[in-house]
Amino acid sequence: MNTLKPKKGYKRGYPVAILAGLEETHAILWKVFSKVVKPEKTLTLNGTRSNPKALYNFHESIINALRPTLKEGVRSIILVSPARTNCAQEFTAHVREHHTWLIQGSNKAAFSEITGSANTPSQVAALTRTQAFRQLICETTAEETENLIEILEKRLSTSEKNNVVLFSLEEAEALILNKHKTGRPKPEYLLLTDNYLSENREKNRLHRLMQIATNKKVKTRVVNAESPAGVRLTQLGGIVCIAKPE
């Protein structure tokens, strides 16, 4: 995993997590893909941390900057802050007090903290190469995808006819690529394992579906096949598309 600018296409891999470097005076958000890490946004604290209003506004700006990626379906958030600071703790306290939707319910995000700095591409590259970071990514994404499997299991057990679960690439394409018709189930999630993605013989077709799904605001997640969620998806064929009533 590196921070070099990826070439066009899928050289960057698939989205994995959000990395938030929290410092005393600013925050830098990075998007972690399976092959690279890309800078997303830099946010500045206007004022001092001792000013409650300034700190509140700063934390709100971070939440607002996270929203687009969260809406894409990536809900694993790694908070990085230097040793002997409480930047990450202050942010998570803000989340608990003002954004319970991020930490409750089946669609909640998974937060983890690690000590370090994520100010520059070289710092991020060094951080992502550590065993501690890789382990944290695995644990955080596993927690997040277990939440997704909860949603899947509920949909599988429901009797509502418009709660549809599809188990093949062809069925997912038919639902996602075609123009949505009023009264028909609307695609909400596209879930697949990394093994399904890497072993599929029609990669261009699969990547096209994933890109169009993302463009249509379908939450798209690639899940580690060895995680509990990945094992369940593999049992179901490796790919699942979940639709909801309109």
CATH of domain 15-142: 3.30.420.60
> Is residue 56 predicted with pLDDT exceeding 80?
yes
E-assigned strands of 34-185? Answer: 37-44, 76-81, 110-115, 164-166
Distance, CA of 61 to CA of 108 (rounded, Å): 19
Phi, psi of 218 (to 5 degrees): -85, 125
pLDDT of residue 8: 46
Predicted local confidence at residue 1, as pLDDT:
52
| Res 63 pLDDT > 70 | yes
- Structural domain boundaries in the chain: 15-142, 158-244
pLDDT at 39 over 60: yes
CATH superfamily of 158-244: Ribosomal protein L30/S12 (3.30.1330.30)
Question: Could you count the other beta carbons within 10 Å of the beta carbon of residue 132?
Answer: 11
Cβ neighbour number for residue 9 with a 10 Å cutoff: 8
Contacts of 161 (CB under 8 A, 6+ apart): none
147 compared with 24, residue with greater pLDDT: 24
> How does pLDDT run across 69-119, given as a tens digit for each residue?
998 889 999 999 999 999 999 999 999 999 999 998 777 899 999 999 999
Residue 24 has pLDDT above 70, yes or no: yes
- pLDDT above 70 (res 7): no
Distance CA 188, CA 149 (A): 14
| Number of DSSP helices (H) and strands (E) in the chain, helices first | 8, 9
Q: How far is the first Cα of the chain from the last one, in angstroms, to the nearest whole number?
A: 39
Reported confidence tier of residue 151, pLDDT bands at 50, 70, 90 = confident
- Rounded Cα distance, 228 and 149, in Å: 9
pLDDT band at 159 (very low <50, low <70, confident <90, very high): low
